[in-house]
Structure 1
Amino acid sequence: MKTIIITTDFSKTALNAARYAIKMAKAIGVDHIILYHAYDNLTVVTDLPMTDIAPPLVKEQSLSNLEAVQAELEQELGENSGINIQLVTNNFPLLRGIEELAEEWHADLVVAGTTGRSNLEQVLIGSNTVNLASSLKLPFLIIPADADYKPIHKIVFACDLRKVSHSTPVAEIGQWLERLRAKLLVLNVTSEGKRTDSVTVTELHNMHSLLDGFHPEYHYTTSDDIAEEIEDFAEDHDAGLIVTSPKSYGFFERLFRRSVSKQLIKKSDIPLLLLKEKE
């Protein structure tokens, strides 16, 4: 992994996500970080000082705030880290801006925080997170507000057996296991009341044929609150990362309705990595 895009709105949550990402970048040998702010909305929500948000000054102040974040991250990195931080700000819609940066810099990962500091900001940032998760083709790492980076020794791959297929991003899962030197725990959660024999021999065979090469542990459980079950399982097994795909368990299918992913990223302190299924 060479290049990471960290998107920020200068909120405390976004700053924490940037700190988390910089520590991970240092641990896995990233060369280049793009710190990106899209100011397509004239009202810039920030925990850093902005004396004037009149349109002609938005870019200048956005860049100034990016420089402040950069200084903090470079202090975190220390000298001779070998990681270069590039600052980018523009008035593109967030998704478009990230997509263009990803193409230009051949980025490998996008990192963002979960929610902002106010109710309005939670709506805005939540909307951006859902939009990115639904549309980005790159791996997307979502950092909860209170997450603090430490070496990741276990990864939970939360999957729906009925949706495990050759479109599952197996190669990407393997790359993350290798770069983090982590053990894979495969978790399938079935809703209470569903018959366990609905998991067919074929579905089990498909999953094992795809994942057995990683020598994972397989776990099966039932719950009416799938998000809570995934979170509890990850915490009980000291996992440092939850991995899934946006389609699994209906991730990000509805913004303002209760969904598995919305509850998961709202409650959990464990980062969530979304990997796109293969076409």
Structure 2
Amino acid sequence: MPARKWYIFFRFRQDKLNLVKEKNEIVMKTLLIPVDFSSTSDNAVDFAIEWSKAYGYERIILLKTFYDTVFDHIVVSAEYAPVSPHYMARERQEATAQMDNLSQHIITQTNKRVQVVSMVSEAPLLRAILEVIRDESPEMIVLGSDSFKYSSGSFIAGNLIPIAKASPVRVLIVPAAYSYQPVENILVPCDYKTLDSLHKLQNLQIPPQWDDSKLLVLNVDAKERYLNPDEQLKEAEQHVHERLRDYKHEICYSSDKNIINGILSYTEKHKIQLIISLPGKHSFLYYLTHKSISDAICRNAREPVMILK
């Protein structure tokens, strides 16, 4: 079977450019945003614009996949008539125009300071994303997520978990209708059984903009051992302080019997602008992947969630 073709379009300061790959090319600080033109996806783009301005990103890659299944070529009718090639061609032309408009929107909102690369692929979504990561080395993926109050029917939102699990780079999940806010309080849910995963925060390379931000390390302890801490708990707390000695931080507790409810209830009572999910089987992501996506992410997540790798 022949390899699927890539159709790539580039825009930088409103001029179309050819991509030149050089071995010694300087790597630009890049965000990757898979898009599907839903309101949730568009909101993720607007969030990414503000994020890129705040944290000095130089390039944004927009990715749209046209992967077709056998059912995409069939009209749902009594005759199951094949979809006209002209219809599919027109669909691609319209999507290309939308990508162009989205690129222009980013260029305008960033005052032409960010290079925008539009990529259109016929590969399945996950494979297309992994190929872009391999070839373009983005620092992070930004994904839009529907909420329990609103669903845009976003294809991207419906594939959050597979993307987050497979991605070799960190992922930022942006809830629908959430507008960018300066990061002052960062919630770090942490199971004391996997405290070693805290070293991933060092790999995050906390930006200077977070110098005054506080890391709130939250442990959900249904047994409320924190009320009368034993030596083991004290050692765990000391380990947290040692790991995060270079950062402004605080240890917090929840007595909720459910991990997810404990975490998200905490965000309702405190002003949180970002949740960081540590890797490992006791991470926030682990619990999300072992619960219903609609219940764990779409219904509950009200703040952006950054999943570290």
CA 201–217 in structure 1, closer or farther in 2 if over 3 Å, else same: closer
Distance across 1 between alignment mates of 2:224 and 2:123:
45
Q: Which residue of 1 aligns with 2:289?
A: 253
Unmatched tracts of structure 1, length 5 or more: 44-51
Provide runs of 4+ in structure 1 moved above 6 Å: none
Kept after mapping to 2: 8 A contact 1:177/1:183: no
The alpha carbon displacement at 1:3 in A equals 0.6
Distance across 2 between alignment mates of 1:103 and 1:220:
39
TM-score scaled by length of structure 1: 0.80
Count of residue pairs brought into register by the alignment: 262
Residues 65-122 of structure 1 show CA distances to partners (whole Å, capped at 9, x for unaligned) of: 2112223333322x3x411111001111222212221222221010010139758x36
1:146 to 2:177 alignment:
yes
The alpha carbon displacement at 1:170 in A equals 2.4
Q: Which residue of 2 aligns with 1:47?
A: none
Distance across 1 between alignment mates of 2:234 and 2:211:
31
The alpha carbon displacement at 1:63 in A equals 1.6
Which among 150, 154, 160 is matched to residue 129 of structure 1?
160
Q: CA RMSD in A?
A: 3.1
Which among 94, 103, 120 is matched to residue 134 of structure 2?
103
Kept after mapping to 2: 8 A contact 1:164/1:207: yes
Q: Which residue of 1 aligns with 2:206?
A: 176
Distance across 2 between alignment mates of 1:221 and 1:170:
22
TM-score scaled by length of structure 2: 0.73
SS at match of 2:61: strand
CA 229–99 in structure 1, closer or farther in 2 if over 3 Å, else same: same
Q: Which residue of 1 aligns with 2:93?
A: 60
Aligned residues: percent identity? Answer: 22
The alpha carbon displacement at 1:6 in A equals 0.9
Distance across 2 between alignment mates of 1:180 and 1:145:
24
Q: Which residue of 2 aligns with 1:30?
A: 57
Kept after mapping to 1: 8 A contact 2:67/2:125: yes
Q: Which residue of 1 aligns with 2:241?
A: 208
SS at match of 1:185: strand
Distance across 2 between alignment mates of 1:233 and 1:263:
15
Which among 37, 48, 52 is matched to residue 21 of structure 1?
48
Q: Which residue of 2 aligns with 1:229?
A: 262
Unmatched tracts of structure 2, length 5 or more: 1-27, 73-84
